[in-house]
Chain A
Amino acid sequence: GAVVSQHPSRVICKSGTSVKIECRSLDFQATTMFWYRQFPKQSLMLMATSNEGSKATYEQGVEKDKFLINHASLTLSTLTVTSAHPEDSSFYICSASVGGRVLFFGSGTQLSVL
């Protein structure tokens, strides 16, 4: 399957700092990428749809000023958690499609805010 690379895999930060997570499509171009979040023992919840060259579309209840998404190229989308707080601690995962209906996921980023 298509490869989606996500970095970092794990980050621990102090409350109030910002954290950037990168998602790259390694062997294909992705005009659209999706960002998900998973809390422990829960399902994957869609946060936003990242569109290359335009603004991201956020799901209801997701603060766009807190979770900044930039999709500057066809192979890179970034999610920045601004002024992180302990309640933002979660597992963040990006995904992309080669062009069909199947989404391929990155390896995820475990964010822990102290």
Chain B
Amino acid sequence: DQQVKQNSPSLSVQEGRISILNCDYTNSMFDYFLWYKKYPAEGPTFLISISSIKDKNEDGRFTVFLNKSAKHLSLHIVPSQPGDSAVYFCAASTLEYGNKLVFGAGTILRVKS
């Protein structure tokens, strides 16, 4: 049972435009959501997170939106840069499960210059 889903395996965006990465979850107990960026053969790098008590969190070029009723979150990157090209993982957690992260399948983002 996949509790965190990233339905788009890949996304291609032109440099300077907005990248929107989507994530859906099924477990209503999740109350904390994170986005990580990952390169091959490296560990994930934390980007941004959001608590379920908020609907938006912004950090520089990165903004995460949370729609609890739809069990959906998205990561917006604007403007997109070629260095943003990587695999992006959405993750969710709940203290009920000991703060373990459950990851989505990832979305490959390619930013073309």
Residues of chain A having any CB pair with chain B under 8 Å: 1, 4, 6, 32, 34, 42-46, 49, 57, 91, 93, 95, 97, 101-108, 110
Known: A43-B89, A43-B106, A101-B93. A108 touches B42 (CB 8 A): yes
Range, interface on chain B: 20 to 34
Residues of chain A lying within 8 A (CB to CB) of residue B22: none
Q: How far is the CB of B21 from chain A (nearest CB, A)?
A: 14
Of the candidates A6, A43, A49, the one whose C-beta lies within 8 Å of that of B43 is A6
Residues of chain A lying within 8 A (CB to CB) of residue B54: none
* CA gap between A108 and B106 in the complex, in Å: 17
Chain B, range 73-113, C-beta contacts under 8 Å to A: 89, 93, 98-106
* CA gap between A93 and B101 in the complex, in Å: 13
Q: Do A107 and B101 touch (CB < 8 A)?
A: no
* CA gap between A104 and B89 in the complex, in Å: 14
